[in-house]
Amino acid sequence: MEQSNPSPPTTRRIAIDPITRVEGHGKITLLLDADNHIQEARLHIVEFRGFEKFIQGRPYWEVPFFVQRLCGICPVSHQLAAAKAVDQLTGIRQLTPSATKLRRLLHFGQILQSHALHFFHLSSPDFLFGFGSNPAQRNIAGVLEKYPEIALKGVKLRKYGQQIIQAITGKRIHGTGTVPGGMNKPLSIAERDALLADITDILQWSQEALALNEHIHTAHPEHHHFATLPSNYLSMTGASGELEFYHGGLRARYADGNNIFDQFDYCDYQQILREEVRPWSYMKFPYLSALGIEQGWYRVGPLARINNCNMISTPLAEAARQRFKAFGQGKFVHHTLAYHWARMIEALHCAEAIDELLHDPEITGTELIAEKGQHQPQGIGVIEAPRGTLFHHYQINEEGLVTKANLMVSTTSNNQAMNESVRSVANQYLDGQEITEALLNHLEVAVRAYDPCLSCATHALGKMPLQVTLQDVNGKVIDQLTKGMSGEIHR
């Protein structure tokens, strides 16, 4: 935490820099008056990564393996979204059954390991020890010490998801696997049997993780009013409105549950979504174009998907969804901290779906490449990544080189919602109070609920001013330059 006293002297700025226990680098700033009343609260994304630009000029078949380097937590999500776009570029609309099921298995493994990592490693310390507990204990090491059984089950759940990824792609992080029109190798019977050996434990631990999260939320009424935001929701669903991660149509709903649109073809996403740039963040602000900037912001991810879907195809997860809906009395649950509950419903669904796929004889099939069709100048791939709806859009020239790329990632879609959550918590818990680390952690808890992947979200250049500070070895500022939004430089 750093503090400074900008002009005028009656206000002061407090920064949480960096936000802890999230992927990537961001900060929260508060502007307070002399009586500690909140004048402004913002989430800033201060790192920049230019993937949309530097993949231009590269052959389209390289793209799935380039873009997965956006992230070490959800590389499979980017690889699969890009692979779906590349399939379109090569004129392929339908993969072989074995290739489709391998991609789905890979995706379920990715979501399972990501959800386990987020709750057990990053978020559980807040709930097991309390938002205002000793920060020296409020971390995964503290959980391992006091709750070793819970922590180890979280570690093993993540490990299992990574084992699935390794079996299919050759590596736990940044492997290969997808090729235009399919997959590059089959899953061997020995690999399948090794994964089946642990599936009973994985199903049990997933149910226990869900039960823990369900209890945490239902037994603590104070969580129900923490950054609660009635909002629009966007997600992909199957043809019957079922929970769907790999392929489906787009569904958006108002906060009251009524449809804005349903089963919209994601290849036409530019007709319904727009992105706004603001001067204080490198992350853009998407919104539903029909509703405008002020009313069109929305939320994506586990809470959106569980609220939006009509059913879940696996029985244990569907029973959990029914309890979730009953908790909301049949209406949408808008509690931001319910993201964790929804996340564990999805983790259980992944475990059940993995079990089903591993018992499917086609999962070890060897027909993995579909026949290519006529090349297309444009390809759009959309999946439900762990953090929400993920869009990859590419255009190529006659030589097969990328001429344009647009990536709209899940965390970007949640940008406005995270800012709204920060403002809500600041006004509820910090306004007029003496600012302490414990209170500031409440702001981080609100951001962490979204499981933001800030590295993924900072792929596109905004208009945030650039500031360069030169310090000596003792930390004394020697010089400082600031480049403003219009390009002017100030010393």
Return the structure tokens found at 112.
């399972």
Helix runs in 269-395, H state only: 292-295, 302-308, 315-327, 338-358
| Residues 356/316, Cβ–Cβ less than 8 Å | no
- Tell me whether strands 232-237 and 298-299 are parallel, antiparallel or unpaired: parallel
What is the mean predicted confidence (pLDDT) over 424-429? 94
Length of the chain: 491
- Whether residue 255 is predicted with pLDDT greater than 80 in this model: the reply is yes
Whole-number pLDDT of residue 461: 44
Residue 90 pLDDT level (bands cut at 50, 70, 90): very high
Residue 459, classified by CB atoms within 10 Å of its CB into exposed (0-12), middle (13-18) or buried (19+), is buried
Q: How far apart are CA 364 and CA 347, in angstroms?
A: 24
Q: Average per-residue pLDDT in the chain?
A: 91
- Whether residue 468 is predicted with pLDDT greater than 60 in this model: the reply is no
- Whether residue 16 is predicted with pLDDT greater than 70 in this model: the reply is yes
Q: How far apart are CA 339 and CA 335, in angstroms?
A: 8
Q: Among 224, 171, 225, 165, which Cα is nearest to 195's?
A: 165
Domains annotated on the chain, with CATH: 16-46+433-490 (no CATH), 93-228+335-363 (1.10.645.10)
Global pTM value: 0.91
Residue 330 has φ and ψ, to the nearest 5°, of 85, -5
Lowest mean pLDDT, pick from 69-73, 256-260, 401-405: 69-73
Residue 432 has φ and ψ, to the nearest 5°, of 80, 5
Whole-number pLDDT of residue 362: 98
Give the model confidence (pLDDT) of 100-143 as tens digits: 999 999 999 999 999 999 999 999 999 999 999 999 999 999 99
Name the residue with higher pLDDT: 36 or 297: 297
Residue 450 pLDDT level (bands cut at 50, 70, 90): very high
- Whether residue 169 is predicted with pLDDT greater than 80 in this model: the reply is yes
Residues 6+ apart with CB under 8 A from 354: 105, 108, 109, 112, 164, 195, 199, 202
Residues 6+ apart with CB under 8 A from 162: 109, 113, 172, 173
Whole-number pLDDT of residue 418: 95
